[in-house]
Structure formats: structure tokens, C-alpha cells
Amino acid sequence: LLLLCGLPFMHTLYLTLPIYLACVCYNTVGDLFRCNLENFVISWHSTHCSETITKWFLLCVYWLFLAVSIGVILSIIVSAFICRPILSVEFLVLGLIPVSRREENHDVVKWKRMWFICCLAIAIYPQFPVVGQTPLPTVCALSSFFTSLLIFWISASPVLSSAKVLFRCHSALHLLAAVVVILVDTFRDYKLLLMLLRLICWLSIPVAAVLPLFSPRSIIIRLICWFSSLMLPYALLSLSYESSFVLFLFILLITYVRLEFGHMNDDEFLTIPLPKRDNETKLLAEEGAYLC
């Protein structure tokens, strides 16, 4: 499909992507219809029908249905690379999937709403012009500012009090990034000041690489710290709305992780610890390093 649309053959990433998408589609179809190939083969052998033709007919129908389902889903996903409005429709459909599920945990309801709002916001981005055509420094500054507010609000949570100081530092750095973006746009004619501001932007890359090392042993805190560290240089080096897209994408991914742990309440989810390495794991790692 991509070759027919005129994309160069050297775009190996786009050419190999359907293989991965086909596997995802197969698992999705299997989950939706609660059937997979192994269960079908087992039931096929245990069928009491004496006619072999009927058995082969059932097998062909299954494979035909599976191939058509994967083909349709795969065509829709791949078409998003050519027609951007299709990507918006995909996110709108994606936003409705968790809402249709019933959960016993009442804490998950607000996360479902957040999922829908994030999908609705991300669905707008494919309608924007291509990044780089129209620089919008104000949008970049606002993205860093709202990221700073978000992390500051997270730091006020009593459950995450162990990382309060760390989150406040992240919040201050993003606020500084917003100020730097505004200054770069305002004083673009002052070469000396502009060089200093650009130096600050480039120094944010090693700073972002070091900051996650100070995070405590908690999965959610680590995820927030890694996002904040990656967002810092990304927002400073952005030209338009792409930094705000990353902000919505992070909230969407965190919401996805929360929905996967729907059996927990919010306090339990936010305090999930990292698994500790036991002596056996350390010994295996040392043996592997010795063999290498």
C-alpha cells in the first residue's frame, strides 16, 4: 500500500512497520473475539463432526475472517501516513474504547475521562500544518509553562511527598525554559544575549540526562522524572506546537498505564515500587558480564 502511494523503497521503517502492525492487529482481533489459532486448532481436533470437509471449511472460514480483519485494520492504520484526517478519526475511536468498558473501581472513572480528553486533544494535531512551516514560540513557551504547572501540582500530592523537592526542581527548570523561549523570541537581534540563551538550551541536554538519577525507587515517579527530563530540551529546541503534543502524549501514556492497573486504587498505583534485585539476579548478571 505504501509503495502504491509513491513512497521510496528506501524508507525501510515504513516498509517494515506493517509487519509489526500485523502482529498487533492479530492480537487485537484475538482479544476482541476471544479466539486465537491455538484454541481453534484444539477445538478443531476435538470436533465430533465426522465430515472432513466441514472441518476444513471451518478452518478456511477462520483464516479468511482473520486475514480480512487484519487487512482492514492494517489498511486503516497505514492510511494515516498518507491521509492525516484518518489519524484524527483513529484517536477519536481510541478515546471511546476505555469508556465502553465497565470497571468496579470508581477511581478509574476519572482516568477514563482523562483518556478521552487527551485523545480528543491529540486528534486535533493532525489538522495543523506541518511542523517547521510556521514557528510559534509563544506555543512553545506555553507548553513549558503548563508542564511546570503540572509537575508543581503533582508535587503537592501527599502520596508523592518523597519526591516533592525533586518535582519542585523540575517545575522550576520548565518555568526557566518558558522564560528562555520568550527571551529568545524577544531579543533575537541581540547576538551576544542570543548566544548565551542558546548555550543554556544546549546545556539542558546533559542536565536532562542527569536529573532522573536522583529519582526515588518508584515506577510512577521515575516515569514523571524521565518525561520531565526529556521534555526540557525538547521544549527548548522546538519550533511550534510539537512540544505541546508531547505533553498530551505523556498524559495519555500515564493514563494508559493507570487503566492497565485498574484493580488498584490511586494511592496504590502511585506508590508501586520498583522490583528489587535479589542475590541470584546479581549473581547471574555478574556471570554474564564475566562470560562476555
Q: What is the pLDDT of residue 149?
A: 92
* Whole-number Å distance between alpha carbons of 90 and 13: 21
Number of domains in the chain: 3
If one counts every other C-beta atom within 10 angstroms of the C-beta of residue 74, the result is 19
> Does 234 share its domain with 145?
yes
**Which residue among 112, 127, 142 closes a domain?**
127
Q: Is 50 among the domain residues?
A: no
Q: Which residue has the cell 478452518?
A: 59
Distances (CA, A) of 88 to 13, 93, 255: 22, 9, 19
Q: Is 261 among the domain residues?
A: yes
Residue 266 amino acid letter? D
Q: Is 25 exposed, middle or buried (0-12, 13-18, 19+ CB in 10 A)?
A: buried
Q: Is 38 among the domain residues?
A: no
226: Cβ contacts below 8 Å, ≥ 6 apart: 212
Q: What is the pLDDT of residue 280?
A: 46
Q: What is the pLDDT of residue 17?
A: 62
> Does 167 share its domain with 187?
yes
Domain of 120?
83-127
> Does 123 share its domain with 138?
no
- The pTM of this model reads 0.70
* Whole-number Å distance between alpha carbons of 243 and 5: 30
Q: What is the pLDDT of residue 46?
A: 56
Q: Is 47 among the domain residues?
A: no
SS3 277: coil
Q: What is the pLDDT of residue 232?
A: 85
* Whole-number Å distance between alpha carbons of 246 and 256: 15
> Does 95 share its domain with 145?
no
* Whole-number Å distance between alpha carbons of 241 and 231: 13
Q: Is 1 among the domain residues?
A: no
Q: Is 123 among the domain residues?
A: yes
H or E segment to which residue 197 belongs: helix 191-210
* Whole-number Å distance between alpha carbons of 148 and 123: 24
The tens place of each residue's pLDDT in the chain, 292 residues long, gives 555 656 566 555 655 666 666 666 566 555 555 455 555 555 655 555 555 666 676 677 777 777 777 777 777 777 777 777 888 888 888 888 887 777 666 778 888 888 888 889 888 888 887 777 777 888 888 888 999 999 999 888 888 888 888 888 888 888 888 888 888 878 777 778 878 888 887 887 788 888 888 887 788 888 888 888 888 888 888 878 888 888 898 888 888 888 888 778 877 887 777 776 555 444 444 444 444 4
